Structure 1
Amino acid sequence: MILETLIGVTFVAALATFLTPDEHAERVAFVLSLLPVVGSLYAWYAFDGTGNALLDGGSLAFATQIDWLTVGGYTLQWFVGLDGISLPLVVLSTVLTSLAILSAWTPIDVRQSQFYGLMLFMEANLIGVFTALDFFVWFVFWEAVLVPMYFLIGVWGGPRRKYAAIKFFVYTNVASLAMFIGFMALVFNLPVDSFGLPAIAGALRAGELGGFLGLTPGTLAAVAFAAMFFGFAVKVPVAPFHTWLPDAHVEAPTPASVMLAGVLLKMGTYALLRFNFTMMPDVAAQFAVPIAILAVVSVIYGAMLALAQQDLKRIVAYSSVSSMGYVILGLVAYTELGVGGATFQMVAHGLISGLMFMAVGVIYNVTHTRMLGDMAGMADRMPVTAGIFVAGAFGYMGLPLMAGFAAEFFIFQGSFTSTVLPAAPLFTATAMFGIVIVAGYLLWAMQRTLFGEFSLETDYEVTRAQFHDTAPLAALLLFTIALGVAPETFFDMITDAVVPMLGGGA
């Protein structure tokens, strides 16, 4: 019952934080957020699962499967479990939430109990997304994540917070509707009597899908695949479905941006891996070329947009679009290293993007500006923050012995040797060019903001950041280096879960 305890404790922590007076909320929330961290680390330590959660249910770790109720001949179940794909994302969610809460101590000074309560409520639902194996349970968690993020942006965000929050909510809800319709069209034409994801995946991979409204099984599968891909691609986001992301990031408070880039975007790539590429590998192979084109366009276009920005936060936001393009490329390659590297990139990007957004937030807390043209020479006034910012930027560029390098190396090697993707070397080489653009905009941004003569015009003194601002940055940097030096920490369990899904289908 460790997963039920983990989710339940996090919900209780959220409720307790809501009821805590504002003057004590930040410390109470941080202490309570350590409980899920301990639980997830224990799950990692005790993990003994092998295989894939959707294809080899008997090997699930910490699994619970209890019938709940029957509706229209279908049984709804409380069905949760972990495999090597979901466990690293659960650990990422808990660790990043605690560090994001700690980073909020300076910028969040109103309605603290509500803010921190929403952060913990969002964490509980994120854990649910990565552990649920019944579609309706999973979908409840999936939709519930949107609610706290909407309020975090809309209440504590910047001047255009209401517009950004509504845009985020509308885009993601429309995408969820398309995904829901596509998935249910599959379920209602399969010989299954539950919404358990393993049963549905098994039936789809066995070719048991029937026709619907005159559509052949092949056509229905293609239409449903496209609907689900669209729904998840908006969440990732993949260009051209990315336009909600920069507005949400720029207006969101720093801790919300950390969670949005670090974990919420991974919901989309995780769902693509579970639903599209695990359940329907044959259809994924049919759509390999257009999906690869979207991946490469996201890599290059996102990097080019970042290069054109003057706002530090927008630069980091657009870089996430580029980084998620690498994940899609690894998935569509459908090789052990490609899919494994894509999953590893989800964790690596979560750490590095969280570090970058926190660093931008610390600089903003001191300078009250994020514009490149307004500041220079920050390294003299904030040497620790500047040093970690530079290290994080090099991690984004793929510096060896950092997690980003390992992830991109796995993806490129896996995609280059793909037999599913036509012209795989060409797509890989084009995507690799994105690294050059990433180096360009990050080096340019650092040169403008951190080095040279101090030039910020302000009426107050710019001094070093406080310890509780820099401690989360240092922790994320250490985690990034640790995963880069020893990627097998997560990569071995990831490949154990990836290999079964490559054994059949495409």
Structure 2
Amino acid sequence: MIIEALIGFTFLAALVVMLAPDEYAGRLAFGLSLLPVVGSLYMWSQFDATGNALLEGGSLAFETQVPWLTAAGYQIQWFVGVDGISLPLIVLATVLSSLAILSAWTPIDSRQSQFFGLMLFMEANLLGVFTALDFFLWFVFWEAVLVPMYFLIAIWGGPRRKYAAIKFFVYTNIASLIMFIGFMALVFNLDVNTFGLPAVAVALRSGGLSGAFGLSPTALKTAAFAAMFLGFAVKVPVVPFHTWLPDAHVEAPTPASVMLAGVLLKMGTYALLRFNFTMLPDVATQYAGVIAIFAVVSVIYGALLALAQQDLKRIVAYSSVSSMGYVILGLVAYTQLGVGGATFQMVAHGLISGLMFMAVGVIYNVTHTRMVGDMSGMADRMPVTVGILVAGAFGYMGLPLMAGFAAEYFIFQGAFASSVIPVAPLFTAVAMFGIVIVAGYLLLAMQRTLFGPFRLETDYEVTRAELHDTLPLMVLLLCTIALGVAPDIFFTMIKEAVTPILAIGGGA
């Protein structure tokens, strides 16, 4: 019952913080957020599951399965559990939520109780997304995550916050509707009476799908795959469905940007692995070339867009588009290193992007500007913050002994050896070139803003950041190094969970 305890406690903590006086809300929220961190680390220490939970032969850890509702002949269950794919993301969500809350103490100076309550409410729903194994239950959590993020952007965001919040909400909601239709088209034409994801996956593997809407079973699977892929691709986001992301990041307050890049984007890649690449591997392998094109275009185009930006937040935002392209390439490779590396990249990117957004936020809190041309020589005035920012940037570039290097190495090795991607070495080589562009724009931005003679185009005095601003950066940097030095902290359980997917996907 530890999953229920974690989710229930976090919801309760959100309510308590919302009712607390503003002057105590930040510290109360941070204190309460530490319990889910402890709970997720306990789950990691006690983890015992084998294989992939959605396939025959796999088992779940901390599983609870209780009938809930019956509607139109289908049983809806409270069905939760974790495997080696979901557990690292749960740990990421709890750790990043606590650090984001701590980083919000300085910039959030109005309606604090509501802000921190919404942060905890979002965390609770994220835990639900990564643990729910009944589609109806999972979809409730999936949609509920959007609500606090919408308000965090719309209330505490920048000058164009309402536009960015509405764009984020409309894009992701339409995508969710398309995805919902695609999944339901499968369930209603299978011989199942449940929305349980393992039951649906097994039924699809056994060939029990009947045709519908004038489509053959094969055509129906292809259409459903396309609908779900589109729905999840918007959340990732994959080019060309990425246009909502820069606006949301730029206008969102820094702690919300940290959660958006660090965890919410992983909802899309996690769902792609759970649904598209596990349930419909025959369709994924048939169109592996097309999916690989989406992945490589996202890598290169996202990096080129970042190269053209002058706003530090936009640079990091477009970097996320590029990084998520690597995840898609690893997933479609259907190799242990490819799929495992893609899952590992979700965690690595969550840590590094969270660090980068926090560091940019700390600099903005002091300088009140994020524009590259407005400042230089920040290293002399904020050495600790700048040092950590530089280290995070090198992590983005794939510096050895950091988590980003390990993730990209696994993905490139897995993609290069893929037997399902046409001309896989060529796709891999083009994607690897993205690292060169990443290094170019990050080094250029750092050289212009952090080094050289000090200059600032605002009237604010630049001083060293407070401890509660730099402490989250230090923790994230240490976590990034730890996963880079010892990737098996998570990679062993990830490999065990993804191995069954390879057999059904034709990989190795």
1:58–1:317 distance in 2 versus 1, CA, 3 Å: closer
1:11–1:400 distance in 2 versus 1, CA, 3 Å: same
Distance (whole Å) between structure 1 residues aligned to residue 57 and residue 89 of structure 2: 19
Quote the residue 1:315 is aligned against: 315
Question: What TM-score comes out, normalization by structure 1 length?
Answer: 0.99
SS at match of 2:391: helix
Quote the residue 2:16 is aligned against: 16
Quote the residue 2:454 is aligned against: 454
- Residues 180-234 of structure 1: CA deviation (Å, up to 9, x unaligned): 0000000000011100000000111222111002210000000000000000000
1:62–1:211 distance in 2 versus 1, CA, 3 Å: same
Quote the residue 2:54 is aligned against: 54
Distance (whole Å) between structure 1 residues aligned to residue 368 and residue 462 of structure 2: 10
Offset, 1:136: 0.2
Offset, 1:58: 5.8
- Residues 66-101 of structure 1: CA deviation (Å, up to 9, x unaligned): 111211111110000000000000000000000000
Distance (whole Å) between structure 1 residues aligned to residue 33 and residue 210 of structure 2: 46
Question: What TM-score comes out, normalization by structure 2 length?
Answer: 0.99
- Asked if the contact 2:52–2:58 (Cα under 8 Å) also holds between the matched residues in 1, the reply is no
Quote the residue 2:243 is aligned against: 243
- Asked if the contact 1:79–1:132 (Cα under 8 Å) also holds between the matched residues in 2, the reply is yes
Distance (whole Å) between structure 2 residues aligned to residue 57 and residue 86 of structure 1: 17
- Residues 5-59 of structure 1: CA deviation (Å, up to 9, x unaligned): 0100110110110011000000000000001001100000111111111114762
SS at match of 2:181: helix
Offset, 1:459: 2.6
**1:265 aligned partner, one-letter code:** L
Distance (whole Å) between structure 2 residues aligned to residue 295 and residue 503 of structure 1: 22
2:152 is equivalent to residue 152 of structure 1: yes
Offset, 1:502: 1.3
Q: CA RMSD in A?
A: 0.7
- Asked if the contact 1:326–1:411 (Cα under 8 Å) also holds between the matched residues in 2, the reply is yes
Quote the residue 1:230 is aligned against: 230
Distance (whole Å) between structure 2 residues aligned to residue 283 and residue 212 of structure 1: 17
**1:371 aligned partner, one-letter code:** M
Q: Which runs of 5+ in 1 are unaligned?
A: none
SS at match of 2:179: helix
**1:454 aligned partner, one-letter code:** F
Quote the residue 2:294 is aligned against: 294
Distance (whole Å) between structure 1 residues aligned to residue 492 and residue 112 of structure 2: 40
Report runs of 4+ in structure 1 exceeding 2 Å deviation. 457-460
Q: How does 1:109-128 map to 2 (within 5 A)?
A: 109-128=109-128
Q: How does 1:94-493 map to 2 (within 5 A)?
A: 94-493=94-493
- Asked if the contact 2:330–2:338 (Cα under 8 Å) also holds between the matched residues in 1, the reply is yes
Aligned length: 506
Distance (whole Å) between structure 1 residues aligned to residue 416 and residue 117 of structure 2: 45
- Residues 309-367 of structure 1: CA deviation (Å, up to 9, x unaligned): 00000000000000000000000101110000000000000000000000000000000
SS at match of 2:194: coil
Provide the identity percentage: 82
- Asked if the contact 2:62–2:82 (Cα under 8 Å) also holds between the matched residues in 1, the reply is yes
- Asked if the contact 1:235–1:267 (Cα under 8 Å) also holds between the matched residues in 2, the reply is yes
**1:242 aligned partner, one-letter code:** H
1:432–1:227 distance in 2 versus 1, CA, 3 Å: same
- Residues 111-152 of structure 1: CA deviation (Å, up to 9, x unaligned): 000000000000000000000000000000000000000000
- Residues 280-314 of structure 1: CA deviation (Å, up to 9, x unaligned): 00000111111100000000000000000000000
- Asked if the contact 1:51–1:499 (Cα under 8 Å) also holds between the matched residues in 2, the reply is yes
- Asked if the contact 1:313–1:360 (Cα under 8 Å) also holds between the matched residues in 2, the reply is yes
Distance (whole Å) between structure 1 residues aligned to residue 6 and residue 185 of structure 2: 33
- Asked if the contact 1:237–1:265 (Cα under 8 Å) also holds between the matched residues in 2, the reply is yes
